[in-house]
Structure 1
Amino acid sequence: MLTETATPGDMPQRELRSLTVQCLSSPRGAQPARRHAVRWMGERGHPPASDVSCAVALVVGELAANAVRHGRVPGREFGLRLVLDRAAGALRVEVTDAASAKRLPAVAPSSFPEGESGRGLLLVDAPAERWGSTARSPVGKTVWAELRLEV
């Protein structure tokens, strides 16, 4: 399911645009989420090879892969939501899964994680101005990142 909205903001010249996508929570689920995000950003003036679209692809890909790997509930999808605020020069990326929110991601990722995985949030941290997570009721969590865009 793909939904796009345009919402007037507080100021007359301020407009928020958003994209909401539901993706299969499977090993290949991150790929379509990333494609939707890059295509949507391209339609808003940030071509696929631009620094902005590359940063968005990286953040969406990592958060979606984490939702599939750590937040997967069989038969349930994960959600991707992008909110573009041109006036503020910001993009918010949100990935929501349906798993029990017993363990939210660490606020500060480890600089030298052990093992073969655990570096994804370091990749998110690099282009993001800030990021975090929120528990959902009754279950699930949303992991979000905010990116600064050229105004």
Structure 2
Amino acid sequence: MTQDQLTDEAKPPHTPARQLTLRFSSTRRGARLARQLAVQLFTEWTGFPYDSDPARSVALVTAELASNAVRHGSLPGRDFRLTLRLLLAGFRVEVTDTRPECLPPPVIAEPTDDGTSGRGLLLVQAYADRWGCTAGDAYTKTVWAEVEFRTTGS
């Protein structure tokens, strides 16, 4: 378990106020634990209740990104990495896996009515304010999504 940064110090607008990075096993259990951690930290860092709309959005987005990393982005014996960042008016979820050649499609097509899969990125697109994918090196890719929120004083 690694922790890159976790601080309350004032940061420039483009720098996260808080950040945590952890590795999880590329299993369904790892994806579930990643979702639970994301919601727990979101509620602790923001003060939003667990059942608020932004917390539900964070849960859904994290669940989809983590399950995609397990299902489509894993190699035997390789973990995925979850990075959570508290931004000034949002929360960023990043999931890094070991299959950079398996990029999400640039345009998300509507699934067929009888299809049993293919809706995950549509949900991410619907619940996240921004999302995308970056390939940092020849061995990994990171799919990220940002959920914006407004505090009562904003």
TM-score range, shorter chain: 0.7 to 0.9
> Could you say which residue in structure 2 is the equivalent of 1:48?
50
> Could you say which residue in structure 2 is the equivalent of 1:120?
120
**Distance in 2 between the 1:8 and 1:142 partners?**
26
Asked if the contact 1:60/1:93 (under 8 Å) is kept, the reply is: yes
Query: Which has more helix, going by share of residues?
Result: 2
Asked if the contact 2:16/2:85 (under 8 Å) is kept, the reply is: no
Alignment of 1:1-151 (within 5 A): 1=1, 3=3, 4-6=5-7, 8-10=10-12, 16-44=17-45, 45-86=47-88, 89-99=89-99, 101-113=100-112, 115-151=115-151
CA RMSD of aligned residues (A): 1.9
**Distance in 1 between the 2:2 and 2:35 partners?**
13
- Aligned amino acid, residue 17 of structure 1: R
TM-score by length of 1: 0.88
Structure 1 ranges of 4+ moved more than 6 A: none
User: Residue by residue, what CA displacement relative to the aligned partner does 1:14-66 show, whole Å, maximum 9, x if unpaired?
Assistant: 86111212111012221000010111112121221111111000000000000
TM-score by length of 2: 0.86
Asked if the contact 2:65/2:95 (under 8 Å) is kept, the reply is: yes
Percent identity over paired residues: 46
Structure 1 unaligned blocks of 5 or more: none
Structure 2 unaligned blocks of 5 or more: none
Asked if the contact 1:23/1:77 (under 8 Å) is kept, the reply is: yes
Count of matched residue positions in the alignment of Structure 1 and Structure 2 = 146
